[in-house]
Structure formats: structure tokens, C-alpha cells
Amino acid sequence: MLDAVETPALVLDRAKVERNCARLRDRLAAMGVTSRPHLKTAKSLEVARIAQGGKPGPITVSTLKEAEWFFERGFDDILYAVGITPSKLQRAAALERAGCRLGVILDGVQAARALRDFVQAECVRLPALIEIDTDDHRAGVRPGAAGLLEIGAILGNTLDGVMTHAGNSYTSKSVSEIRGWATREREGVVHAASRLRSAGHEARVVSVGSTPTALFGDSFEGVTEVRAGVYMFFDLVMAGLGVCETGDIALSVLATVIGHQAEKGWVITDGGWMALSRDRGTAAQAVDQGYGVVCDASGHPVDDLIVADANQEHGVVASRSGRLLDPVQFPVGTLLRILPNHACATGAQHGAYHVVAGSPVVEARWERFNGW
């Protein structure tokens, strides 16, 4: 039972994870495109298996440590989806030599030359995707840029295709805006692939991905694979976008009431930002959820309570409407569960999931890992 778990602790609802994973998996299967789940959120073997419906398959990772960890556990088709630097090439090559198909990404001529020289000198195969900037938010070369063909020419037969991530879809105000980002993401990366092919380069892989665009894109024509990660758990940022319901959020932080500030109507818990993370992703949305939505031990939201403020090991629970909370309703020792703003950030504050399925019964403890 959750009341035997020392707080603060991370709780994962397996039934919700299964439902969330089936939702995207079924959608992509119906649209005839491969799913390459991103494991940067979950960093868990059990969750990876659920995401792939029990069958092994291709995955995406955000660090070489993730690549090594999942390769050791049987995953051998991995895309490392952060721009590769020369200093990381030996570590990547060690994975390839051990039998892993490790794809890498890059978006500039310097990185392309370093990769080409390395694979030639070391006789390794590290197939590369060129990162395409389709949303003007971070990395990548523009679909129409001259540099795209220059990078393709440098890479030669190390080029495997193109990839993009419409991270700006997270700022959408409506589902139709998300669909707009999905179209822009797909059209941009397909255009880049087509330019490379016209210039005589191979571009076998056309990879897109973000949870909002994966769940709402109208078409994946020309796309070969979709990467998404946070859809496995969902979070308040995704709920604020309309991508999921609050009830779909599988991740929460278990906390205990440690005191009250009766005059202010606050309840103080041991779930501070160390347990919740400093992420305030809903601050820019229509409804600011503070450091998270407060639920009872069964995972049901309690009125309009949020974690209004947080220190390292203290959470301040308050009503969003300003109503004063009655200490009698939340005695010292009461267990609460906090739904997080951002599952990737909150998960990273913990070393394991306490697994439930719709009730406070803990059915398993699943390891997760951090670091690089």
C-alpha cells in the first residue's frame, strides 16, 4: 500500500501508462508509420516494453548512457537524438562495435566532417540523420537552406536521412494550432529529404516527433517514423494543451502533510521542488497549476488545490481560488499525490517508480536511472 512508502516518492499508474501507450501505438499503426518511442521521459525498462506493446523495436534516447542502458537490456536499434559532438564519438563507436545499430544526428558542416573523418578512420558505422529546423525553436538546418546539401555531400554514405522535432507545438493554444505545427513539421522534413534525394543522396529515414504532433497530425505521408516520449505518462502541460485529460496523467509524487499555516490556509507537505522539480511549465498556459495539482492518495484531484509554492523539501498546498484550507481536513500524516507540470523533469528527480493501477496498492517497484 502507498501508506507504507516513505515520502516523497514517485508513483506511476501502470493502467494509465498502458492506455496512453496503446493510444499512440494504435494511431501510428493505423496510419502505417513506425513508432520509435523516446525513452528520455521514462528511463525504465518496463515502460519501454509497454510502449512497444511487449515486442522489441526501435527506440530514441537523449543521452549515450540511455543508449548503453537500453542496449544492455536487449534494445539494439537506437537513435541518439541530440547533436553528436566529436568528444562523444568513441563512446558511440563502442556501442556500434558491441552490435548496436546506433543512429546519430547533427546539423552543421563541422559536426558532419568530424563524423565522416571518424567513421572512416575507425571503420565503424554510425548512420546519421540531418536535423531539420521546422519550427524555428532550437537546433537544425532549415529545409530550404543551401547548407543541407553541403552536409549531405560531406556525410556521403554515412547519411541515413533527416529528422525534426516540432518543440514549438508545446506553445499551441488549440488543437488546430497543434495540427498546424504537425503539418509544418512533416512538410519541412519531407521537403528536406526530397532535396537531398534530388541531389543524389540517400535519405532513407524521414523522422518526426513530439507528443502533440504525433497525436494530432492529420497525415504522416512521406514520414517513415515518429518519435514521442511524454505521451506515455502525460502531464499538466499536455493537459493544458488539450492533448490529454488530467485523468490520463500516469505520474504523480506522493507526499505527506507535515504541518499547517492555518492563518494563511496553507497545508505544508514534504513534497518540495526536489521531489517535484523546479519545472513551472504551466506558468505560461491559461491555467497556472503552480508546482502541480493536488490529489488524494487514490489519485483523484482534491477541489482546486495546487502546490502554490515549493522549497527544497517543502511544498505549500493552497487553493487556487484563495479559499483557506482547514487543517482538520488535512491532519499531519495525510498522504497526497501531486500531478506534475512536466513528467520528464519530475521523473528525473527520482530513482524508481512505485507502481499502482488505479488504487493505492503498490504492485511493483520499477527502477529508473539518471545521469549521462
Q: Which residues bind to its own copies, rule: CB under 8 A?
A: 3, 6-9, 40, 62-63, 82-88, 91, 106-108, 110-111, 114, 131, 133, 138-139, 167, 256-261, 268, 270, 273-275, 277-280, 309, 311-314, 316, 327, 331-333, 342, 344-345, 348-351, 370-372
**Three-point CA angle 178, 183, 189, nearest 5°:** 125
CA-to-CA separations, 326 to 186, 262, 264, 360, in angstroms, rounded: 52, 7, 10, 24
Residue placing its CB nearer to its own copies in the complex, 251 or 348: 348
Q: Where are the alpha helices (DSSP H) in the chain?
A: 14-30, 45-51, 64-72, 89-97, 109-122, 146-155, 175-198, 211-216, 236-241, 273-276, 343-347
Residue placing its CB nearer to its own copies in the complex, 179 or 280: 280
Residue placing its CB nearer to its own copies in the complex, 220 or 349: 349
Residue placing its CB nearer to its own copies in the complex, 33 or 126: 126
Beta bridge partners of 336: 255
Whole-angstrom Cα distance, residue 338 to residue 255?
Answer: 8
**Residue 53 Rama label (left phi>0; alpha psi -120 to 50; beta):** left
Residue placing its CB nearer to its own copies in the complex, 201 or 260: 260
Tell me how far the alpha carbon of residue 62 is from its chain's centroid. Answer: 9
Residue placing its CB nearer to its own copies in the complex, 106 or 355: 106
By the 8 A CB rule, do 181 and 174 touch? no
Residue placing its CB nearer to its own copies in the complex, 18 or 309: 309
Q: Which residues contact 311 (CB under 8 A, 6 or more apart)?
A: 272, 273
Considering the complex, what minimum distance in angstroms separates the CB of residue 109 from its own copies?
9
Considering the complex, what minimum distance in angstroms separates the CB of residue 55 from its own copies?
27
Considering the complex, what minimum distance in angstroms separates the CB of residue 113 from its own copies?
9
Considering the complex, what minimum distance in angstroms separates the CB of residue 276 from its own copies?
10
**Three-point CA angle 95, 100, 106, nearest 5°:** 70
Whole-angstrom Cα distance, residue 346 to residue 38?
Answer: 16
Considering the complex, what minimum distance in angstroms separates the CB of residue 193 from its own copies?
20
Whole-angstrom Cα distance, residue 29 to residue 251?
Answer: 25
Considering the complex, what minimum distance in angstroms separates the CB of residue 218 from its own copies?
26
Considering the complex, what minimum distance in angstroms separates the CB of residue 346 from its own copies?
10
